[in-house]
Amino acid sequence: MRKLSIVMIILMLGLLSSCSSFKAKRVDAAEGDEKAMEITDQWVFGDTERSIRDIVKKMENHRQFRRFVKKLGRAPTVFVGEVQNDTAEAYFPIDDMNDEFLNELSASGDFLLVDAESRENLLKELTYQHDGMVNPNTAKQIGMQVGADLMIFGRVHMRPHRRKGKTMKQYSVNIRMTDIKRGVEVLRVRTKIQKYSSQ
């Protein structure tokens, strides 16, 4: 019985010492990005922030796009299609990238965004308002939604190069903007991120 108690105490001490080796702390985005690189060569949120900032900056400086906006005479209305994940990485955070892209476009104040995600729900609400259930004086008129001037498409590609335990991943984020009325491309920009790892 005494041997069993000693074994139990040793096991408990071992369990406690293994639990006490775990440490966690809050870090800022830059430090978190560096720490992530110590444990993975996968795409991390800092990569999303950097690539989207670079894309939006290139959009703002694109000469053909600036000429389009000048000719339009107002902030263009933009429908943003989803940026597609064309990498071989099933867990690539494409939803984060789409959200960050929309956030940056909205924050720039240079665009009116058509809310594609809510369009179906808006249509249901408009239909409900005109089914006789809502006071006609407060019902919103059908056919007053704003049409988009431009549509944005995007893709993310990744090409890995491996040799002797070393890997270089080349990510490419590609965005293009098309004039819906004329069907011509107004803008095409790209940013690249490379990640190196070795084992």
Q: Is residue 8 part of a domain?
A: no
Q: Is residue 122 part of a domain?
A: yes
pLDDT of residue 63: 95
Q: Is residue 53 part of a domain?
A: yes
What residues make up the domain containing 186? 41-198
If pLDDT is split at 50, 70 and 90, which confidence band does 151 have? very high
Q: Is residue 95 part of a domain?
A: yes
Q: Is residue 64 part of a domain?
A: yes
Q: Is residue 25 part of a domain?
A: no
Element at 94 (helix H, strand E): helix 94-108
Q: Is residue 19 part of a domain?
A: no
Task: Specify the number of domains making up the chain.
Answer: 1
Taking CA atoms, 142 is separated from 28, 115, 124, 128, 145, in Å, by: 47, 17, 11, 11, 8
CATH number for the domain spanning 68: value is: 3.40.50
Average pLDDT over residues 170-185: 93
If pLDDT is split at 50, 70 and 90, which confidence band does 76 have? very high
Q: Is residue 17 part of a domain?
A: no
Beta bridge partners of 114: 79
CB 112 within 8 A of CB 77: yes
Residue 133's region, left for phi above 0, alpha for psi from -120 to 50, else beta, is: alpha
Return the higher-pLDDT residue of 11 and 86: 86
Q: Is the pTM of this model over 0.85?
A: no
pLDDT of residue 33: 57
Q: Where are the beta strands (DSSP E) in 35-165?
A: 77-85, 112-114, 150-163
Question: Does residue 98 sit in helix, strand or coil?
Answer: helix
pLDDT of residue 54: 95
13-71, pLDDT tens digit by residue?
A: 666 665 556 565 665 556 555 555 555 667 888 899 999 999 999 999 999 999 999 99
> Of the ranges 95-104, 123-132, 171-180, which one carries the lowest mean pLDDT score?
123-132
